[in-house]
Amino acid sequence: MCGIFGYIGRRPEAVKLVVDGLKLLDYRGYDSAGYVALSEGKFISVKKVGKVAELEASLSDLLTPSNIAIAHTRWATHGKPTEINAHPHFDDQSSLTVVHNGIIENHDAIREMLQKKGIIFSSETDSEVIPQLIGYYYKGDLLKAVQKAVGKLKGAFAIVLMHKNHPDELICVARECPLAIGIGKEEMFIASDAHAFLTHTKKVIYLHSSEIAVIKRETIEAFDGNAVPITKESEDLDIDVEKISKGHFPHYMLKEIYEQPQSVSNALLSRYSDEYGTAILDELGMTDEELYKIQRIIILGCGTSFHAGLLGGYMLEERARIPVQVEISSEFRYKNPIIQENTLAIAISQSGETADTIAAMRELREKGAKIIGICNVQGSTLAREANASLFLRAGPEIGVASTKAFTSQLILLALITLRFARMRTMSQKEGKDFINALTCLPTQIRSILDHADLIEKIANKYASYENFFFLGRRFMYPTAMEGALKLKEIAYVNANAYPAGEMKHGPIALVDDKCIIVAFCSDSVTYPKILNDLMELKARNGKIIAIAPEGSRELFSIADDIIIIPRTIDELTPLLAALPAQHFAYCVAKKRGTEIDKPRNLAKSVTVG
């Protein structure tokens, strides 16, 4: 989950370029950061514990001129966040240096073998075995040494390295971890996310499947995992530079909350037919006959994507009457699943690089399931390996706590539901009504954002509390899970989600006047039931915040505070209810003074399993 940035070209300010690149990648990890540049045959390296800003602050106004450098921002896996464990890492002769994202699973065995050869290690990391192993194999041919070393490594990783004896080249390797090469005019950029070099070039090549690239300022030589030369075709990034800036907002998260009317509209664009009352999902590449044959659906996801998947499962079973199994990818990948004929898998990942989801997807594919990916990043591993992909079109999501990606995922799952339902159980009129509800969402989202001041006032009132229960029934239960996750992620408070009916089976023992209940009350089927649940909690002095639809008069005598949202069909209510939950978490975190965009111990893209 670390961030890599590299540069080779004619410009002498390589150090500034790579550190500026890291600033756009520090959401991938911010335990430590470092860079190394090659200048007049010598490595110049600086490492700092903490965020990239700490590294940037250490830069001199008179930077050593260099036209080749690599840099790294770390999310610690093996070894504590210290300067010694920070990247870049070197071989014991200090002749070559490496930055690395991923995990080397057999690092202990490699370290032990190299130590027996007299090689001395300086860090606790798995990463250090990479330069040490390449250095051990190096006999003058750097590419050959890299190919031999990579063949010994187990795990998922992306690597960029340079060698003193090869001052005009960088070598990159990517195996199941993202790595993009940006092609400029007599210069090349390397990054974990392509948007990090967007201000310099939009022409990009992606490495994957153990591919190796030798990069010079004007050429790229690529090889597959068997060292056979291959041709890599470039593509153009379809991203505006403005989309990766905060604009006038103080945090990316707040900007992305306010982008949701547009991101929801983008997800819907050209994907439905008013006339026929159905979804148009040409990206699936499946005929009506193939879709009709689907008898079972498995949905995979982690974190926020898992919560979206749960809601997708509810929708599909409710409307299309197809059995759905929703699984946490990190657990499912270690199962031995039974895959029946005509099983469809839907794998959800904002980045398209979530290691556990990709591993689970591969397990299903090997067992014969057809895979649909739902992701936000073209060129990602998920997009490449799925049989077909539906893209969120949400634009870059930089804040670690997902907001607009979640609501866009729900839109795509609703459209998939509509497509299947119209083939099975849903009439044309019902389909048109469903589409009408979908198309009203952007305006309804704006109306919620127009009342952000009220949400902030309520959040400030409860920001000092340490214990929260998020409750819901039916469609509101996964929504409660997502709301609790947001508060945990960025405000660092104990927030637990439960089905409201389960409180009396144990958790109600924790309710007192120091416990805040956030109740999602917008499911029409279970609305009377959750009123009873809240009365029980009020009788035990719990303080209640209700998120409820217009006209919920009964709640005014029960709840301490109420956030009103527009009415819609039950299947789409989670999308509207998520908005105040996101903003509530943001405002609580802001009041508590936490790092909202870069919460402790977390990173945006979980590319290690």
Half-sphere exposure of 442 (CA within 13 A, CB side): 12
| Sequence-separated (6 or more) residues with CB below 8 Å from residue 1 | 28, 29, 75, 101, 603, 604, 605, 606, 607, 608
Residues 427 and 268: their CA atoms lie apart, in Å, by: 21
Told to judge if 504 belongs to the known catalytic residues of this protein, a careful annotator would answer no
| Sequence-separated (6 or more) residues with CB below 8 Å from residue 590 | 251, 596
| DSSP letter string, 330-345 | HHHTTS-----TTEEE
The single residue of 2, 375, 515, 587 carrying the catalytic annotation is 2
Residue 270, classified by CB atoms within 10 Å of its CB into exposed (0-12), middle (13-18) or buried (19+), is: exposed
For residue 534, the SS3 value is helix
For residue 528, the SS3 value is helix
Residue 513, classified by CB atoms within 10 Å of its CB into exposed (0-12), middle (13-18) or buried (19+), is: exposed
Q: Starting from the edge strand earliest in sequence, which strands make up the sheet with 68-74, in order?
A: 42-49, 32-39, 68-74, 3-9, 187-191, 179-183, 203-207, 235-236
Told to judge if 177 belongs to the known catalytic residues of this protein, a careful annotator would answer no
User: How many whole angstroms from its chain centre is CA 490?
Assistant: 15
Residues 97 and 402: their CA atoms lie apart, in Å, by: 34
User: Is the distance from CB of 183 to CB of 205 less than 8 angstroms?
Assistant: yes
Q: Pick from 404, 358, 350: which is nearest to 377 by CA?
A: 350
Q: Pick from 459, 490, 500, 451: which is nearest to 304 by CA?
A: 490
User: Is the distance from CB of 296 to CB of 340 less than 8 angstroms?
Assistant: yes
Q: Starting from the edge strand earliest in sequence, which strands make up the sheet with 343-349, in order?
A: 324-328, 296-301, 343-349, 370-375, 388-391
User: Is the distance from CB of 346 to CB of 309 less than 8 angstroms?
Assistant: yes
Q: So which residues are the catalytic ones?
A: 2, 604
